[in-house]
Amino acid sequence: GAPDTRTPTGAETGLPAPANGQQGAYLTTATGVRLRDTDHSLKAGPRGPSLLQDHHLREKITHFDHERIPERVVHARGTGAHGTFTAYGTAESVTKAGFLKKNTETDVFVRFSTVLGSRGSADTVRDTRGFAVKFYTDEGNFDLVGNNIPVFFIQDAIKFPDIIHAAKPHPDREIPQAQSAHDTFWDFVSLHTEAQHHTIWNMSDRGIPRSYRTMEGFGVHTFRLVNDAGATTLVKFHWKPKLGVHSLTWEEAQLLSGLDPDFHRRDLYDAIEAGAFPEYELGIQVFPDTGEEAFAGIDLLDPTKMVPEELAPVQPIGKLVIDRTPTNFFAESEQVAFHLGTMPPGIDVTNDPLLQGRLFSYVDTQLSRLGGPNYNQIPINRPHAPVNDMLRDGFHQHAVHGGVAPYRPNSLDGGNPSTAEDGFVDVPVIVAEAPKIRQNPASFDDHYSQTRLFWLSMTPTEQEHIISAYTFELSKCYEQAIKERQLQALANIDPVLCRQVATGLGLPEPKPTVPLADVTPSPTLSQIGHTWPTD
């Protein structure tokens, strides 16, 4: 038979299995020597000085000195937990992904986060929330790296460093921490009006969720599914919380930032420990893959646009139950590495230019955040499917690879490893014959229709909250010209919204510079009356 080039087990190599760091009853050094004393350094007499010879002192302090790793460049503040996803089987006609076959259960790890604050910032700030799910499927991992808002600030990944530079604290004073109440944020979104749609969602109650248990999640981009026959479908992914969508009031959010900055983290852990397991339903909006990549006149490759649910209902395809808190925050929530491009056969990407850049960014940042190219060997990231790759060596390599020929084809390891007929296939989408160019399609130019649609779809109470949020956040700007430019954007969304915020700021109300979009309010955009689809 063919030589075995799998990573050998501990028993096969004679090497011990990876340690859990807490074996045996006795305190030891990192190299396993039992210690008699860990409370006193080795000194020349009881009054010192301390001796350089003290290996235990040096090991203990050196290791401590290197305990911190860089926090995530965005989404630094977050918390995770384990759960199980059970498929309904309703997606079997559109995807061959095994984990979506009826009644299949898959282990998952979920990480919820804010975007802008640093690791120790408060949970209840006004911000977008991350909703990232790692499915450990039998066919390899699937990372659904989403947010609680269905659209994004920008249309092209090349602008991501720019929006994040503008939204993070000012470079001179490093304030404000995790809020949109500052000049650079409003400078950016008023100059890049494609950001107005995401911004109005942030200024709504969606920007201050009551709990991670009461948040929707969105894959944002359009993805392409492939079924057993090779037929393709375009979809958008949605998570619906069983408890419905609920938010804090701004006053509650502000108080909680002081009283309990860990409010969301505590709420998640306490609920799980009490057996009130958070539940979400995964659903898809389904669009025919006709080649034009649009639905009801909405460009499906523009991540600043969503498709209202009454035009394309969300079809439930499975259920997630979160039922286990982490054992170790660092090992799990900090070291987990999500990547949009981690997907099993049956799911593929589209040409959304924001998605395309994300395919590069996550791996790149994890190379430095997690110290080199072997971070998928960290326990929380390890697939539950067998791994047999030709990646070798590198910092923090834990595998002991067998065989001599990590290349294909080879004649030395009996051709091992083989490629598989049922392996991942990139959908051979036809690429249009077109000039190589730095330009967006014209359909990306409409920045106000859906922003106005969102505003008009809110109840009067929700509209009041939005007006207060814009007024509060803009009042924190130092530069009057920036407030005026944002008021101009509001005038292009809706005169009532603009007038109320202008009055609150004590500034004149500008006239619109574009015709107001003719849109019909969408009942599904308001959070009032939200129900779980299978109830």
Q: Is the previous residue joined to 417 through a cis bond, with omega within 30 degrees of 0?
A: yes
The residue annotated as part of the active site, out of 20, 55, 63, 75, is 75
Instruction: Report the nearest approach of ligand HEM to the CB of residue 218 (Å).
Output: 7
Structure tokens given for 159: 């602008």
Q: Is the peptide bond before 49 cis (omega within 30 degrees of 0)?
A: yes
Which backbone phi and psi does 447 adopt, to 5 degrees? -105, -5
Q: Angle at the Cα of 70 (from 158 to 365), degrees rounded to 5?
A: 30
Strand 315-324 with 298-299, pairing: unpaired
Concatenated DSSP letters of 223-254: EEEE-TTS-EEEEEEEEEETT---B--HHHHH
CB of 368 to ligand HEM, least distance (A): 9
What is the distance of C-alpha 214 from the center of its chain? 17
Looking at beta carbons only, is 189 or 336 nearer to ligand HEM? 336
Which residue is closest to ligand HEM by CB? 130
The token duo for 166 is: 């503008």
The Cα 333–Cα 91 span in angstroms is 30
Least separation in angstroms between residue 281's CB and ligand HEM is 19
- Collapse the DSSP code of 273 into the 3-class scheme (helix H, G, I; strand E, B; otherwise coil) and give the result: helix
For residues 417 and 165, what is the distance between their CA atoms, to the nearest angstrom?
A: 44
For ligand HEM, the closer CB: 75 or 465 = 75
Nearer to ligand HEM, 147 or 376 (CB): 147
Q: Record the tokens describing residue 105, joined without a space.
A: 């259960």
Nearer to ligand HEM, 332 or 413 (CB): 332
Bridge partners (DSSP) listed for residue 288: 233
CA distance linking residue 358 with residue 349, whole number of Å: 11
Known binding residues are: 72, 111, 160, 358, 362, 369
- The DSSP call for residue 71 is P
Which of 315, 300, 313 has the alpha carbon at shortest distance from 91? 315
Q: Binding site for heme: what residues are annotated?
A: 72, 111, 160, 358, 362, 369
The Cα–Cα gap between 395 and 200 comes to 44
Give the Cα separation of 171 and 13 in Å (integer): 52
Phi, psi of 271 (to 5 degrees): -65, -45
**Cβ burial, residue 99 (10 Å; 0-12/13-18/19+):** buried
User: Helix, strand, or coil here: 300?
Assistant: coil
The verdict on whether 55 is a catalytic residue reads no
| Residue whose CB is less far from ligand HEM, 357 or 373 | 357
* Whether residue 416 lies in the annotated active site: no
> What one-character DSSP code corresponds to residue 375?
G
For residues 271 and 213, the answer to whether their CB atoms sit within 8 Å is yes
- Catalytic residue, from 141, 147, 376, 381: name it: 147
d(CA 437, CA 292): 19
Binding interface with ligand HEM (CB under 6 A): 72-75, 78, 111, 113, 130, 132, 145-147, 152, 157, 160, 220, 303, 336-338, 354, 357-358, 361-362, 365-366, 369
Beta partners for residue 295, in sequence order: 298
Q: Which positions are catalytic?
A: 75, 147
